[in-house]
Amino acid sequence: MALDNTDHPVNSLGFARPPAETRVVVAMSGGVDSSVVAAMLAEEGYDVVGVTLQLYDHGAALAKKGACCAGRDIHDARRVAEEMGFPHYVLDYESVFKDAVIDEFADSYLAGATPVPCIRCNEKVKFKDLLETARDLDADCMATGHYIQRRDGAAGPELHRAADANRDQSYFLFSTTPEQLAYLRFPLGHLESKDATRALAARYGLGVADKPDSQDICFVPDGDYARVIEKLRPGAAEPGEIVDMAGTVLGRHDGVIHYTIGQRRGLGIGGLSEPLYVVKLDPDSRRVIVGPKEALSTRHVPVAEVNWLGDAPFESRDAWHVSVKVRSTRPPREAVVRPDGPTGAVVELLNPEEGVAPGQACVFYETGTSRVLGGGWITRRA
């Protein structure tokens, strides 16, 4: 691509050259968000290239409206590209997706964790392999339909929460590295509502303007995680005991993979004086441990694989006073992050949280601002 011309004003993607001389690869899922991004940039005159990833065998999901990446979505992405007049490619990433996302999802569940495959997909597929493909296509940057903001800071690009708190996807993008952030663009992060996105889709005349949002993990279109695990790992659902915290057997179960930390319903151990919750999963002994609600509370959360986006090095302080989210649906809470290595830490919550589960992400935010400081993966407590 052409070199930046310092005499030319900076365009909306941050390059000092005309949009027509700026190539941008748009990751298109076939949904309304990424379609609007592609249409918006094409209308502004950018050299747009649309790319859609075929991530899994979507035959079982073809008729499922709420699942992403299925055959219908590929068709919808291609149609948007035709309508707006830019090239569109479908790339077969099934083997990469299986190795990097689906297999880890299955193994994590079998280990008693509660994984978040959408984060791993962003980390290991979309912002890694697809980003490299964008570079191979000689693109200046890659744009996505994620609801998150990228801002230029004193020390380089910063990651910030979306303007619309209800649509914010920062929890799922905490592992974005500084190098990736320098190349990525998120044109929807400043919008105040999803209605604004749909209004843009209607203005561009896109057929996906009223398309429903995806709700499920794309390779689990019906939300039945256990059935997917059993298909991937035959024999995984071995029966075992449901016990209380003292080890007293209260009942039987059909497989640890059917349970998650904090679960109350469907335990099949009625007739007790107080409600019980799943407080721990022990796949080695095939035991589901239950206890009272207060047993779910914790203040100390070990995390690993920390991705740090702060200006100063992570280990330059003994403690970072931040806000954290331990679930995507929960608001940030005050905490202290104490590094215990370059990619490990113990997070101390100032107020206990319930249902903190291994395999979930713990995302760090700068207190009092919208800035994302990174995060890590919650590991099993000793």
User: In Å, what is the CA distance from 56 to each residue of 25, 51, 133, 370?
Assistant: 22, 16, 19, 34
β pairing state of 297-308 and 320-325: unpaired
* 260 within 8 A of 279, measured Cβ to Cβ: no
pLDDT at site 63: 41
278 with 336, same domain: the answer is no
111 with 248, same domain: the answer is no
34 with 140, same domain: the answer is yes
Supply the residues annotated as catalytic. Answer: 121, 218
Is 211 inside a domain boundary? no
pLDDT at site 56: 75
Region of 341 please: left (phi>0), alpha (psi -120 to 50) or beta: left
Core vs surface per residue 67-79: b (16+ CB within 10 A) or e: bbbbebbbebbbb
CATH number, domain of 263, equals 2.30.30.280
CA dihedral 63, 66, 67, 69 (to 10 degrees): 90
Is 29 inside a domain boundary? yes
CATH number, domain of 316, equals 2.40.30.10
44 with 64, same domain: the answer is yes
32 with 66, same domain: the answer is yes
* Signed CA dihedral, 177, 182, 183, 188: sign only: positive
Number of domains present in the structure of the chain: 3
Is 212 inside a domain boundary? no
* 253 within 8 A of 243, measured Cβ to Cβ: no
pLDDT at site 212: 85
Placement of tokens 């890659």 in the chain: 142
122 with 194, same domain: the answer is yes
Domain of residue 306 covers 297-378
pLDDT at site 64: 46
Beta bridge partners of 278: 290
* Signed CA dihedral, 256, 55, 308, 166: sign only: negative
pLDDT at site 2: 54
255 with 370, same domain: the answer is no
Answer with the one of 257, 274, 291 that is the final residue of a domain: 291
| Chain Cα centroid distance, residue 84 | 28
β pairing state of 371-378 and 156-161: antiparallel
CATH number, domain of 63, equals 3.40.50.620
Calpha distance 267→277 (Å, rounded): 8
Q: What is the 3-state secondary structure (H, E, C) of the chain?
A: CCCCCCCCCCCCCCCCCCHHHCEEEEECCCCHHHHHHHHHHHHCCCEEEEEEEECCCHHHHCCCCCCCCCHHHHHHHHHHHHHHCCCEEEEECHHHHHHHHHHHHHHHHHCCCCCCHHHHHHHHHHHHHHHHHHHHCCCCEEECCCCEEEEEECCEEEEEECCCCCCCCHHHHCCCCHHHHHHEECCCCCCCCHHHHHHHHHHCCCCCCCCCCCCCCCCCCCCCHHHHHHHHCCCCCCCEEEEECCCCEEEEECCHHHCCCCCCCCCCCCCCCCCCEEEEEECCCCEEEEECHHHHEEEEEEEEEEEECCCCCHHHCCCEEEEEECCCCCCCEEEEEEECCCCCEEEEEEEEEECCCCCCEEEEECCCCCEEEEEEEECCCC
Is 91 inside a domain boundary? yes
Core vs surface per residue 29-45: b (16+ CB within 10 A) or e: bbbbbbbbbbbbbbebe
CA dihedral 30, 32, 36, 39 (to 10 degrees): 40
Answer with the one of 274, 291, 308 that is the final residue of a domain: 291
User: In Å, what is the CA distance from 229 to each residue of 33, 46, 57?
Assistant: 30, 43, 15
Calpha distance 356→44 (Å, rounded): 45
Region of 298 please: left (phi>0), alpha (psi -120 to 50) or beta: beta
Predicted confidence (pLDDT) per residue in 166-188, tens digit: 999 999 999 999 999 999 999 99
Is 159 inside a domain boundary? no
Q: Which regions in the chain score pLDDT beneath 70?
A: 1-6, 57-70, 215-216, 271, 381-382
pLDDT at site 231: 85
